[in-house]
Structure 1
Amino acid sequence: MTIERSIKPTKEKKSRKSSKQAKVVNERSPLLPTKHEEDGGFDEFDGASFSGAVFNLSTTIVGAGIMSLPATMKVLGLILGIAVIIFMAFLTEASIELLLRFSRTSKSVSYGGLMGDTFGKYGRMLLQICVLINNVGVLIVYMIIIGDVLSGSTSSGVHHPGVLEGWFGVHWWNGRFFVLLVTALAIFAPLASLKRIDSLKFTSALSVGLAVVFLVITVGITLYKLISGTILMPRLLPDVYDLTSFFKLFTVVPVLVTAYICHYNVHSIDNELEDNTQIKAVVRTSLTLCSSVYVMTSLFGFLLFGDATLDDVLSNFDSNLGIPYGSLLNDAVRISYAAHLMLVFPIVFYPLRLNFDGLLFPSARPLASDNLRFALISTGLIGLTFLGANFIPSIWDAFQFTGATAAVCIGFIFPAAVTLRDRYGIATKKDKILCIFMIVLAVFSNVVAIYSDAFALFKKNASPRE
């Protein structure tokens, strides 16, 4: 569908009616109708607010990646680590700005529509496949972590009790399968049934608040231990002594890329804005908020645990913190994080459903107007993530490769490719230099990261036989 969507916002009902009557079938339409084209039932929706858009985009950004950021400080050191987090925020903003600029010029109202306009149907399909790989992987990891936090996990023969197990002991109703089933039916299913992303603005605000709760507790514990003199001076710069240690620096790039990926939701949020000239300010505000949370989490998380910081810093809160009410604070951190992931789930699920539908039914009517198709796709995808979280609990290593590869394509390679293709001749020399830099950095760093992770995994599996 080609939907001629004016950049200037309008609230006049006559304009909406005329735009509905002017629909023409073309592959560049959004997978869901925008606020100007929605059919009956949404006529009173005048557009999303600025704050609602900021919360939704911020929730898209801040997911499970936040827990891996303190571990990047072990590799990069505090000074370089914080600098790279800020640099990635600026690079993410630049890539989103390119997407929006070329979308406006081509009158595309979805990421898939822009890829289709630039590279044809195969370009659109490639983007949709990458979103499926990235988002399915992310959602399964979310459910795995929720299960670990609430029901416990066993690794290398060592059992780490979950919050419910610690409170009530071992029972059938606090086992992983039942806890995730209740979570899927009572939380994920109702939130996933909402057809507008703006409907999630309140849960998104709560999700951001829970991330801040985690941060405040971590900062409080760290300051207490700093005052008591039980925290050692952390590493400020990376420890580089040979070529292998130098290449290891690049292993943090997939983590940082994944932490900032939100590109697949930008168009959906833009489409629903009451004034879509605000989208750049929404992106900038969200990235400022999230990068601030990332810097603070990385700084205080690494200060607190130092070289003992695990890949998932949440695992460090299993142990005795050596402070008053340490057990209570451990539970508060883990519960707030599990609740945060529960509320992030529908925001990441939204573009997954859109792209899955677009891949299977590219010529069908808008998903929001077909309740049966909407329900079947939603149920099937929730069921897939539920099964993955229950029967593939070791999937984290696999998604270090597939998730990072898909994420880097969505976040940097595809926006750069659209700009270099420059179908409408609007790219500047500066844009093209930036895009070449993004592609080189993305390809080189991820090849090195995948090689390093694969080598480490192979060495780990081979060591028992030595």
Structure 2
Amino acid sequence: MELQKMNGHSKDDGFDSLDLPTEHEEFLPHKAGAKKEVHFTDFEGKTSFGMSIFNLSNAIMGSGILGLAFAMSNTGIILFLILLVFIAILSAYSIHLLLQSAGVVGIRAYEQLGYRAFGHPGKILAASVITIHNIGAMSSYLFIVKSELPLVIQALYGKSENTGEWFLNGNYLIIIVSAAIILPLATMKQLGYLGYTSGFSLSCMVFFLVSVIYKKFNVMCPLPGQLQNNTNHTKQDCEAKLFTINSQTAYTIPILAFAFVCHPEVLPIYTELRDATKKRMQSVANISILAMFVMYLLTALFGYLTFYNAVESELLHTYIRVDPLDVLILCVRLAVLIAVTLTVPVVLFPIRRALLQILFPDKPFQWARHIGIAFCLIFLVNLLVIFVPSIRDIFGLIGATSAPSLIFILPGVFYIRIVPEDQEPLKSRPKIQAACFAGLGFIFMIMSLSFIIIDWVTGESRSGGGH
């Protein structure tokens, strides 16, 4: 993936778009015939359509899936469904804007789109946003490993409490997992090679979903801790709500908005797609988003219908509270750990691409540089997870700015700046839509930052999971 001569920009980032080949599919359907159908010829992708779907789906799938049932309890089933549909459509549209911009100038690197839109500052901005956001995502995944893996090993050994052995120390475990699993996968030359591990990661999450559905019919409501003398209260605890508005409803909107974040991985996957065209990559994105939409909805629905108002911000913790020795839930926890571990290398690839674009834009591929950057990134993330206990708050703040930028603001602004005005005037409907889309990103950013500041001021914890 990390090819520095990709898409003909190894020598000059500012080449003229008139000298570039265009996409096989037309950029603007209603202007068909205005361009010749020519493939990108500088890089031949070798990743199959199915493997590309696995990789993009794995990039979308985040640890936030564990908090969606809690989100549904604060919105109600119908409102949750409406919001999830709305966000899925917006995510597909965002990827559409990225692919359209890439098709105009023959670039399949997020950072180079930034260069074409705003020059070197745009390139630095795009690379910085991707780096910060994905380091935050990697940190969140390794935090799950640090907190959950010792508990799983403890349960497998039949121990009722942590007795202090080294193999029950989360800090040691994330170092071992990083060295034995994440680093070897991160040193793969191309992202497409991770399609197999991405497929296995997704199968682990499917097992998680099947278990959630199964548990719906095996966990009786009310839970033992909910039993009250007041029968009306107990009955209310076991009733599903279609619409709910409470103090935490607004907090679920950013959670859902960021549930489909995969934009740093879109263009690298596009680069390596076999027989790559804009239409084919859009199909990869649409199928991936649809698959994750179904998984998100079913997980939230059956998790919520199992525990109703008693569902916790982390769904697995709710099952553990009901039965700490449940073998199925223990297997599910292990599957989730495998899934998040195998996602880390996929998230690392765009960071390395961004760093290479900034530090070594004209250098050919070199194994030492490729492996060295991966090692340094994993080392840095391990240090953050081990020594910075408040890292979630730090990256919560960063994520509130980077995620809206990647999903809404940058794709919309790039489209407006890159697409020539002779093809799409500034006041044309597509560019007005892109401007409104970018404006929506600023609204989400303000909302997210406001919620975080409120949390800090009030000292409350709004849970639900991020990406």
Name the TM tier (shorter chain): 0.7 to 0.9
Question: 1:198-232 CA deviation, whole Å, 9 max, x = no partner?
Answer: 10010010011111110000010013346x88781
1:419 aligns to what?
Answer: 415
Identity of aligned residues (%): 27
Task: Find the aligned partners of 1:126 and 1:275 in 2 and give their Cα distance.
Answer: 30
2:199 aligns to what?
Answer: 205
Q: Contact 1:28–1:109 at 8 Å: present in 2 too?
A: no
2:307 aligns to what?
Answer: 305
Task: Find the aligned partners of 2:93 and 2:266 in 1 and give their Cα distance.
Answer: 13
Q: Contact 2:45–2:276 at 8 Å: present in 1 too?
A: no
Question: 1:331-367 CA deviation, whole Å, 9 max, x = no partner?
Answer: 012111000001111110111111122223334x13x
1:186 paired to 2:180: yes
- Cα 1:224–1:315 shift into 2, 3 Å: closer
Aligned length: 413
2:109 aligns to what?
Answer: 110
- Cα 1:46–1:399 shift into 2, 3 Å: closer
2:261 aligns to what?
Answer: 261
2:404 aligns to what?
Answer: 408
Q: Contact 1:2–1:27 at 8 Å: present in 2 too?
A: no
1:52 CA displacement: 0.5
Question: 1:267-305 CA deviation, whole Å, 9 max, x = no partner?
Answer: 111111111121111111111101111111111122222
Q: Contact 2:76–2:243 at 8 Å: present in 1 too?
A: yes
1:249 CA displacement: 3.7
Task: Find the aligned partners of 1:295 and 1:74 in 2 and give their Cα distance.
Answer: 13
Secondary structure of the structure 2 residue equivalent to 1:281: helix
Q: Contact 2:409–2:441 at 8 Å: present in 1 too?
A: yes
Task: Find the aligned partners of 1:260 and 1:185 in 2 and give their Cα distance.
Answer: 29
Question: 1:30-78 CA deviation, whole Å, 9 max, x = no partner?
Answer: xxxx99657xxxxxx8611110110000000002121222222132221
Question: 1:52-109 CA deviation, whole Å, 9 max, x = no partner?
Answer: 1100000000021212222221322211112111111111111111110111111112
1:385 paired to 2:387: no
The residue identity in structure 1 corresponding to 2:291 is L
2:34 aligns to what?
Answer: none
2:231 aligns to what?
Answer: none
Q: Which range moves more in the overlay, 262-271 or 303-312?
A: 303-312
| 1:28-39 pair list within 5 angstroms | none
| 1:181-330 pair list within 5 angstroms | 181-225=175-219, 232-239=238-245, 245=247, 248-277=248-277, 278-321=280-323, 327-330=326-329
1:88 paired to 2:87: yes
1:113 CA displacement: 1.2
1:407 CA displacement: 1.0
1:448 CA displacement: 2.4
Q: Contact 1:250–1:446 at 8 Å: present in 2 too?
A: no
1:18 aligns to what?
Answer: none
Question: 1:424-456 CA deviation, whole Å, 9 max, x = no partner?
Answer: 134473323332332333222331232123212
- Cα 1:136–1:3 shift into 2, 3 Å: closer
1:372 CA displacement: 1.7
| 1:162-173 pair list within 5 angstroms | 162-168=151-157, 169=159, 170=163, 171-173=165-167
| 1:130-145 pair list within 5 angstroms | 130-145=129-144
Secondary structure of the structure 1 residue equivalent to 2:258: helix
Q: Contact 2:14–2:115 at 8 Å: present in 1 too?
A: yes
Task: Find the aligned partners of 1:307 and 1:262 in 2 and give their Cα distance.
Answer: 31
Unpaired segments of 5 or more residues in structure 1? Answer: 6-21, 39-44, 152-161
| 1:39-118 pair list within 5 angstroms | 47-118=46-117
Q: Contact 1:58–1:289 at 8 Å: present in 2 too?
A: yes
Task: Find the aligned partners of 1:214 and 1:37 in 2 and give their Cα distance.
Answer: 41
Task: Find the aligned partners of 2:435 and 2:244 in 1 and give their Cα distance.
Answer: 27
2:11 aligns to what?
Answer: 25
1:327 CA displacement: 1.2
Secondary structure of the structure 1 residue equivalent to 2:46: coil
Structure 1-normalised TM-score? 0.82
The residue identity in structure 1 corresponding to 2:167 is W
- Cα 1:343–1:28 shift into 2, 3 Å: farther
Unpaired segments of 5 or more residues in structure 2? Answer: 16-38, 224-236, 462-467
Q: Contact 2:316–2:329 at 8 Å: present in 1 too?
A: no
Task: Find the aligned partners of 1:23 and 1:80 in 2 and give their Cα distance.
Answer: 46
Structure 2-normalised TM-score? 0.82
The residue identity in structure 1 corresponding to 2:287 is T
Task: Find the aligned partners of 2:152 and 2:454 in 1 and give their Cα distance.
Answer: 35
Q: Contact 1:28–1:114 at 8 Å: present in 2 too?
A: no
- Cα 1:58–1:249 shift into 2, 3 Å: same
Task: Find the aligned partners of 1:401 and 1:23 in 2 and give their Cα distance.
Answer: 34
1:253 CA displacement: 3.0
